[in-house]
Amino acid sequence: MEPTKALMIVFLVVLSSLIRFSVCRENYASPPSLPKAHYQEALLRLNKLKTSIDVGSPSPSPGENESGVFLVTLYGADPTGNSDSTEAILRAIQDATRIPSKKRHLMPGVTDLGGAQINLQGGNYLISHPLRLPAAGFGNLMIHGGTIRASENFPPSRYLIDLSETSNKGNKTQKASPNPSQYNYEYITLKDLLLDSNFKGGGISIMNSLRISIHNCYITHFTTNGIEVQGGHETFIHNTFLGQHITAGADPDERSFSGTGISLAGNDNVVTDVVVFSASVGIMLSGEANTISGVHCYNKATAFGGTGIYMKLPGLTQTRIVNSYMDYTSIVAEDPFQLHISGSFFLGDANVVLKSKSGFINGVNIVNNMFSGSNSGVEIVHLDQSNCPFKQIDQVVVDQNIVKGMNLKATVARGSSKGNGTSWTVDFSKILLFPNLIRHVQYSLLSMSGNEFPQYALRNVSHNRVVVESNKIVQAQVYVTVNQCSDI
């Protein structure tokens, strides 16, 4: 055998075992020792390998260890934050999103990356353009454990981590899988990250994706949104802190806070145990069936023009806000249809504003909350009828709230009136939410004039004043219960 030929064979054998090593990381075994093989034997083996593996298979990655963990510093990322690490981290992401040899799917068209992790190794990385996946159609990937900061030349209004379709430099997104899927990504976990947008744009953008989890993140210095979700469903945001400015409240610049902590323009998302400590709007909801639970908003006082939670979902709200803490900042809902607010604490004159867009309100429960204010006459639930009055009102229950230093409002009320005469008025105009609406009245007259049995009747309920009259003078007390709902 010629020496060049022999060298070639050795090279091919080494190459083939290297390829196999990189491809079969689940069945990894130490590479076989080089056989003193015959040319024919080696060729046969190589052909076998060629057919058993994807020819386009990627080469081994420098930052990967056998557990599918991609260490960004091994790709050249600078954990001190001094030099730009964008390309290095993107290379790690590129490697983590290589199509595995044994291809599995989550949703059709979404390639299962098997739990691959981009490990930021507790470093602080400067990036100059968004981190995004090379294509759509990936799932089961985690990015975690470090700080990502936008550099001075980060493009304005983009996101540090961009799981959006349009993120691919204006290119129509390629799919990782040939199967078309309506979802870009599924089950991507962003965990233990500090994201500093450096006043250049936003933190995380998620578009048309499914089951994305954001956990234990601290997102700051955004100018647009801390987290933006568009389309898709089941983005879970939990144990996360968002604030445009790093403050612990009573900030002298609070009036100038801008941006939005979380913007949900999609359905079925969950925000739990989240604090928004600085932003003009804490959470903006423009998609249905989202749940907000255990959220503390002190993002910008309503008195300074801020809003805690804004529901821009006129006519189809379908939102539950429970167990939350609105700290000087209010909840606003436009034409609410199916809205539930309960178990929450409203401090510092924070309240719920129901804003009429076309006069429609239906299926609203504001029950079992605590309100605390400064005796400035702020109503716990306020109707903003500046556009038009609420005309179609049904199933609105505001009841069982406890209040200190604010004006109690309710759709169910009880009262009594005592006097010696023929007419008793119980005035509910201060407490009832809707100005001229009593759908249901129950009353009784307790006669205290010994042997008098007067005839009496309900005479008037207009403007939320209940009038009962009798046919003769009696000393009596009249008890009244009213309800602004129809049949509940």
Ligand X SMILES: *[C@@H]1O[C@H](CO)[C@@H](O)[C@H](O)[C@H]1NC(C)=O
The alpha helices in 24-122, defined as continuous H runs, are 39-52, 86-96
CA 297 to chain centre: 13
The nearer residue to ligand X, 59 or 462, going by C-beta atoms, is 462
**Minimal distance in Å, beta carbon 331 to ligand X?**
32
**Minimal distance in Å, beta carbon 171 to ligand X?**
4
- Note the residue count of the chain: 488
Cα distances (Å, whole numbers) of residue 191 to 85, 215, 283, 425: 19, 5, 20, 61
**Minimal distance in Å, beta carbon 467 to ligand X?**
7
The nearer residue to ligand X, 59 or 420, going by C-beta atoms, is 420
Q: Which two tokens stand for residue 315?
A: 């006519």
The nearer residue to ligand X, 242 or 474, going by C-beta atoms, is 474
The nearer residue to ligand X, 207 or 292, going by C-beta atoms, is 207
Output the CA angle 328-330-335, nearest 5 degrees: 175
**Minimal distance in Å, beta carbon 3 to ligand X?**
37
The nearer residue to ligand X, 305 or 421, going by C-beta atoms, is 421
Where does this chain bind ligand X (CB under 6 A)? 65-67, 69, 119, 169, 171, 174, 420, 460, 462-463, 465, 473, 475
**Minimal distance in Å, beta carbon 448 to ligand X?**
8
The nearer residue to ligand X, 38 or 472, going by C-beta atoms, is 472
**Minimal distance in Å, beta carbon 418 to ligand X?**
11
Task: Evaluate whether 342 touches 292 at the Cβ level (below 8 Å).
Answer: no
DSSP string, 359-425: SEEEEEEEES-EEE--SS--BSEEEE-SS----EEEEEEEES-EEESSB--BSEEEEEEEEEEEEEE
> Residue 333: beta bridge partners?
311, 354
> Residue 283: beta bridge partners?
262, 309
> Which residue shows structure tokens 């309506």?
182
The nearer residue to ligand X, 12 or 69, going by C-beta atoms, is 69
Of 155, 129, 263, 138, nearest to 205 (Cα)?
A: 263
The helix (run of H) or strand (run of E) holding residue 445 is strand 440-447
The nearer residue to ligand X, 385 or 447, going by C-beta atoms, is 447
Cα distances (Å, whole numbers) of residue 128 to 11, 97, 184, 270: 40, 21, 24, 30
**Minimal distance in Å, beta carbon 57 to ligand X?**
19
CA 134 to chain centre: 25
The helix (run of H) or strand (run of E) holding residue 6 is helix 3-23
**Minimal distance in Å, beta carbon 60 to ligand X?**
13
**Minimal distance in Å, beta carbon 96 to ligand X?**
13
The nearer residue to ligand X, 174 or 392, going by C-beta atoms, is 174
Which residues lie below 8 Å from residue 256, measured CB to CB, with a gap of 6+? none
